[in-house]
Amino acid sequence: MYKQLQQRGAERPPVNVSTLAGMKSKGEKISCLTCYDASFAILVDEAGVDLVLVGDSLGMVIQGYDTTVPVTVDDIIYHSRAVSRTLVRPLLVADMPFMSYSTPEQALGNAVRMMQEGGAQMVKLEGGAGQVEVVRYLASHDIPLCAHLGLKPQSVHKIGGFKVQGRENEAAEAMRRDAKMLQDAGADIVLLECIPSELGAQIAKDLHVPVIGIGAGPDVDGQILVLYDILDITPGRKPRFVKNFMIEGGSPLGAMEAFCAAVKAGTYPAPEHCFS
Ligand code: KIV
């Protein structure tokens, strides 16, 4: 019944927002992977991953869509519930799908479902200045939050494809401002996708909350990749930041352990995984 208290003294207690904040202040890198089912959740946990995201990337890697746009709240809840049944130590984050947070009230209703029905401990939404009001509203209701900036895959049809963001000075400055506003509105984590490494480093320095990158260079507080990409399951051309960890890991668990070790040691991402 007092599981939270009993686990506090464990050798590796469950990760929460304070653990992540402490890791940032100590300079310990945060390792994160996506996960969509109970079997992989056991391995991801055993490998030592700190944060697990039930990403709407499941629309592409599980459901076979070309984008994340068709994914629904029910889809995320289904997969999050499966992951939550076997995950023990990592913090479980669930992605809010396209148009599931277009008003503060709608966002709160869906975030509550993801936490109560899906077992999520934090929700993630894509957004910049336009989402500040939603973030403030969720934070005022004590919903733990991750704000996703840079390349926002749910906006793919608006931005005209999956492309590096923040290369021009004006766009980079706007992203720095947005990141600060989202943090100040109550975001507990900021996630940056596909941006120049220098911009990733600046934002990580600007913020006191942890900054997790995917294609955002080595100088952020942690790294996340899509599980199926590190396991080399995804066929065809892959984004520049993807690394196949099966080569050094040799098995699914080995690949996850190799990813964690490389993130902690700062050897992933290497220059060939980064944007300038
Ligand atoms: O949906 C997802 O998997 C994500 C990661 C790429 C960060 O948002």
Predicted confidence (pLDDT) per residue in 195-213, tens digit: 999 999 999 999 999 999 9
Residue closest by Cα to atom 8 of ligand 1: 55
CATH architecture group of domain 15-273: Alpha-Beta Barrel (3.20)
Ligand 1 centroid from CA 55, angstroms: 5
**Residue 176: other Cβ atoms inside 10 A:** 18
- Local confidence band at 11 (pLDDT 50, 70, 90 cut-offs): confident
- Quote the percentage of the chain above a pLDDT of 90: 92
pLDDT band at 1 (very low <50, low <70, confident <90, very high): low
What does the domain layout of the chain look like in residue ranges? 15-273
Closest ligand 1 atom to Cα of 191: 7
Query: How many whole angstroms from 13 Cα to the centroid of ligand 1?
Result: 25
* Nearest protein CA to atom 1 of ligand 1, as residue: 55
- Residue 162, number of CB atoms within 10 A of its CB: 12
Q: Is 257 noted as a catalytic residue in this protein?
A: no
Assess whether pLDDT exceeds 80 at residue 6: no
Q: How confident is the model at residue 2 (pLDDT cuts 50, 70, 90)?
A: low
- Residue 121, pLDDT above cutoff 70: yes
Q: pTM for this structure?
A: 0.96
CA distances from 105 to 72, 100, 256 (A): 17, 10, 38
Q: Which numbered atom of ligand 1 lies nearest the CA of 95? A: 1
Ligand 1: which residues within 6 Å by Cβ?
Answer: 34, 53, 55-57, 95, 191, 214, 224, 226
Distance 6 CA to ligand 1 centre (A): 32
Question: What residues contact 261, with CB distance under 8 A and at least 6 apart?
Answer: none
